[in-house]
Chain A
């Protein structure tokens, strides 16, 4: 362990599904496969109010994920063969009283654990506790200047300073202890945030996380967030200049494949969900975060606060929902929001099923964060 992430091995714009051929082949044979990655939150609550927040579209019947619930859930995940759990999804998991124990317990079970957070509540003391147990920790920060940070993320300006300090502390802990954890920043780019692309890329260069990723904003199938995908092209030059700020230990990466897709999908079936499911901070299990709202009740599988995950995964209901998404009645082009979490996996598996590409075990060393496809 060098404690430094090998950037050439970190895939930030793509999918790692070809490195899981055993599971792909079982899926093709019609066997029940465990998800490789589960993206979830420990609560729906958030101490921020970001303008682009998709969580406002994901409201569902709230239940509390207690420590008992999450620990048992993690036991089930490890038992059935889940490989990675990311606390991202539709809430700020650092606010949950179960957050630290969940990370430690998941790690002790051999699961890769990861966090996406606004970073505010990760004080130095908390960072000391969790970083040794994480594969990656990503801070959502969509501005490089105090005032704009406050406007875009809906919080007091001083939280910008607090988060910057927290990032510095995390970088220091990682370097001091030579931890293998990857520290990242993420900007959700809306066309109106163009002025913050370069300041943030520069800020990252000063804070020294491993990377800054610049990504699109997702919208629902009705376009309720008003994301104007045709305006992203005007940002390309600035995005390239941001990437040019990369150096030997700090990488700025743009999710070009999603930004250039302009919210469009090449596929109609959703094959990715069995490999990568999402769980709401309410405990709701659904194939996809875009289907969390009560509106999509027909896709809801169960709630980990009420039913064990292993039992749920073994149930006919779980596979009924998964098969709906893979069946002829489902068309992701018209029934889904844009650029979902499973998008790259879907794209790859769809091309594989159509015979357009032939997935094979890739040669060479596997990339970092293999459990997060």
Chain B
């Protein structure tokens, strides 16, 4: 709520400094554009908790914008912050000063603004007090410093590989079909690929490794990349594989997880895929470097009508939300755009929760239960400014 109405208008004699200050502070929170102190000549003013600095800024604004005089009333609580002598000295840097006590309040008037020499304006500025650093939090101290990366065991990945191998479809991605055949070896391992010469998609993949673990790893890689464009496989194949094999939701490194840093086996995967791409470039003249592949949702999701998609999402929400301590109707599907962007409306109940973390967790759940390509967003918060000038016509 603006206090502007409480301010003395331009042509009035006295401006209520405290109301002006309060209005400014509130506007910092609720105004986006067109923000200004609402008195002519004070548009450049920036207040300050330090009254001397604040008044100095105010007089500077008034003088800079050609205002001849200004008269402020400093309220009961504000006035005692500066003595009459201090006020007089402050004002004299800008013009002629009159200070008049009115009960506990003070009237502070400066006339002839701009006439006083400000050859060294900084000299007129009271020394700003920079507050000392606050005490460091013990909890933060305990976790200070960049966490070092540690060597990651491959054991958990190996267990996952064995699980996946046990349920793998036999024959998927085997060589022998049409396409450009190529082979690349690194560190005793070999990756053989067949690439469709028009789409540059991997249509078959096989591998050979000197030990069982790497054989399992590369076999899973072959299943993963079959059907992907070679460019996507070379650029992100190792990343996809590491995520597919990652045994739990926890990350293997404390910082950013690049597969090469997780384990040398993933570096091997990168080398093989990059080598395969280089071979293919040499064989086919393929020279595209900008990857644009984007996973599409599953066919059953794409085939569903919008209503059916909403129903599936709402059913999943009803299953998931109770585990977040929420009711089924605490989130609703507002829209689904571009087949994958799900916009949710969240109830007031969410405000008590850690919304960012839960929205991310909810996305993971909907990806697992409905379609892995879904993206979850919440409703846009629109600013209250009337000057919103967007390309799209918006309803108020």
Residues of chain A touching chain B, judged by Cβ–Cβ distance below 8 Å, are 26-34, 43-51, 53, 55-56, 59-62, 64, 67-68, 71-72, 75-76, 79-81, 92, 94-97, 99-101, 104-105, 108, 120-121, 123-126, 128-129, 154, 162, 222-226, 266, 268-269, 271, 274, 293-301, 308, 310-311, 314-315, 317, 319-324, 326-329, 331, 333-335, 353-356
- Inter-chain contact B140/A99, CB cutoff 8 Å: no
Given the complex of chains A and B, what is the CA–CA distance between A308 and B34 in angstroms?
Answer: 31
Please judge, given known A-B contacts A30-B257, A125-B121, whether A96 and B381 are in contact too, CB under 8 Å. Answer: no
CB neighbours (8 Å) of B139 from chain A are 311
- Inter-chain contact B258/A30, CB cutoff 8 Å: yes
Interface residue? B149 (CB, 8 A): yes
Which of A34, A75, A298 has a CB less than 8 Å from the CB of B376?
A298
CB neighbours (8 Å) of A81 from chain B are 146
Given the complex of chains A and B, what is the CA–CA distance between A348 and B29 in angstroms?
Answer: 37
Please judge, given known A-B contacts A123-B44, A224-B392, whether A105 and B130 are in contact too, CB under 8 Å. Answer: yes
CB neighbours (8 Å) of A154 from chain B are 33-34, 387
- Inter-chain contact B44/A326, CB cutoff 8 Å: no
- Inter-chain contact B36/A47, CB cutoff 8 Å: yes
- Inter-chain contact A293/B387, CB cutoff 8 Å: no
Which of B30, B49, B143, B357 has a CB less than 8 Å from the CB of A317?
B357
Shortest CB–CB separation between residue A101 and chain B, in angstroms? Answer: 5
- Inter-chain contact B35/A46, CB cutoff 8 Å: yes
- Inter-chain contact A294/B258, CB cutoff 8 Å: no
Residues of B in contact (CB 8 Å), total 93
Shortest CB–CB separation between residue A171 and chain B, in angstroms? Answer: 16
Chain A, Cβ-Cβ closest to B231: A354
Interface residue? B285 (CB, 8 A): no
Mask: chain B, 94-128; 1 = CB below 8 Å from A; 0 = not: 00000000000000000000000010011011001
CB neighbours (8 Å) of A274 from chain B are 255-256
- Inter-chain contact A101/B128, CB cutoff 8 Å: yes
- Inter-chain contact B258/A298, CB cutoff 8 Å: no
Chain B, Cβ-Cβ closest to A97: B48
Interface residue? B359 (CB, 8 A): yes
Given the complex of chains A and B, what is the CA–CA distance between A343 and B228 in angstroms?
Answer: 26
Please judge, given known A-B contacts A125-B60, A294-B378, whether A62 and B29 are in contact too, CB under 8 Å. Answer: yes
- The 5 A-B pairs of least Cβ separation, nearest first, read A226-B391, A30-B253, A294-B381, A314-B143, A30-B149
CB neighbours (8 Å) of A49 from chain B are 33-34, 385, 387
CB neighbours (8 Å) of A26 from chain B are 146, 255
Chain A, Cβ-Cβ closest to B235: A354
Given the complex of chains A and B, what is the CA–CA distance between A325 and B383 in angstroms?
Answer: 26
Chain A, Cβ-Cβ closest to B361: A298
Mask: chain B, 1-23; 1 = CB below 8 Å from A; 0 = not: 00000000000000000000000
Which of B64, B343, B390 has a CB less than 8 Å from the CB of A226?
B390
- How many inter-chain contacts with C-beta < 8 Å in the A-B complex? 253
**A-contacting 9-mer, from B81-89, B162-170, B179-187, B236-244:** B236-244
CB neighbours (8 Å) of A320 from chain B are 251, 357, 360
- Inter-chain contact B254/A31, CB cutoff 8 Å: yes
CB neighbours (8 Å) of A297 from chain B are 355-356, 359, 377-378
Interface residue? B47 (CB, 8 A): yes
CB neighbours (8 Å) of B130 from chain A are 71, 101, 104-105, 108
- Inter-chain contact B30/A298, CB cutoff 8 Å: no
- Inter-chain contact B290/A56, CB cutoff 8 Å: no
Chain A, Cβ-Cβ closest to B149: A30
26 contacts between A and B (CB under 8 A): A33-B146, A33-B255, A47-B34, A49-B33, A60-B381, A71-B131, A71-B133, A97-B54, A154-B33, A226-B391, A268-B294, A269-B239, A293-B381, A294-B378, A297-B377, A298-B359, A301-B356, A310-B136, A311-B137, A314-B140, A314-B143, A320-B251, A326-B256, A327-B243, A327-B257, A329-B367
CB neighbours (8 Å) of B383 from chain A are 55-56, 59
- Inter-chain contact B30/A62, CB cutoff 8 Å: yes
Given the complex of chains A and B, what is the CA–CA distance between A311 and B142 in angstroms?
Answer: 9
- Inter-chain contact B46/A96, CB cutoff 8 Å: yes
- Inter-chain contact B32/A29, CB cutoff 8 Å: no
Please judge, given known A-B contacts A326-B256, A331-B294, whether A56 and B140 are in contact too, CB under 8 Å. Answer: no
Please judge, given known A-B contacts A97-B48, A104-B128, A334-B294, whether A30 and B385 are in contact too, CB under 8 Å. Answer: no
Interface residue? B264 (CB, 8 A): no
Interface residue? B27 (CB, 8 A): yes
Chain A, Cβ-Cβ closest to B242: A328
- Inter-chain contact A271/B291, CB cutoff 8 Å: no
Mask: chain B, 32-61; 1 = CB below 8 Å from A; 0 = not: 111110000001101111000010110011
CB neighbours (8 Å) of B251 from chain A are 319-320, 323
Interface residue? B269 (CB, 8 A): no
Given the complex of chains A and B, what is the CA–CA distance between A34 and B256 in angstroms?
Answer: 12
- Counting chain B CB atoms within 10 Å of each CB, which of A62, A123, A129 scores highest? A123
- Inter-chain contact B36/A32, CB cutoff 8 Å: no
- Inter-chain contact A225/B390, CB cutoff 8 Å: yes
Which of B122, B144, B240, B338 has a CB less than 8 Å from the CB of A125?
B122
- Inter-chain contact A56/B388, CB cutoff 8 Å: yes
- Inter-chain contact A326/B258, CB cutoff 8 Å: yes
Given the complex of chains A and B, what is the CA–CA distance between A45 and B46 in angstroms?
Answer: 12
Give residues of chain B (251-277) contacting chain A, Cβ–Cβ below 8 Å.
Answer: 251-258, 260-262, 270, 274
- Inter-chain contact A95/B46, CB cutoff 8 Å: yes
CB neighbours (8 Å) of B243 from chain A are 327-328
Please judge, given known A-B contacts A225-B390, A335-B375, whether A125 and B118 are in contact too, CB under 8 Å. Answer: yes
Interface residue? B292 (CB, 8 A): yes
- Inter-chain contact B143/A323, CB cutoff 8 Å: no
Shortest CB–CB separation between residue A266 and chain B, in angstroms? Answer: 5
CB neighbours (8 Å) of B360 from chain A are 298, 320-321, 324
CB neighbours (8 Å) of A308 from chain B are 137, 140
Shortest CB–CB separation between residue B287 and chain A, in angstroms? Answer: 12
Given the complex of chains A and B, what is the CA–CA distance between A327 and B246 in angstroms?
Answer: 12
Chain A, Cβ-Cβ closest to B236: A328
Chain B, Cβ-Cβ closest to A312: B140
Interface residue? B155 (CB, 8 A): no
Chain A, Cβ-Cβ closest to B241: A328
- Counting chain B CB atoms within 10 Å of each CB, which of A46, A108, A324 scores highest? A46
Given the complex of chains A and B, what is the CA–CA distance between A266 and B239 in angstroms?
Answer: 18
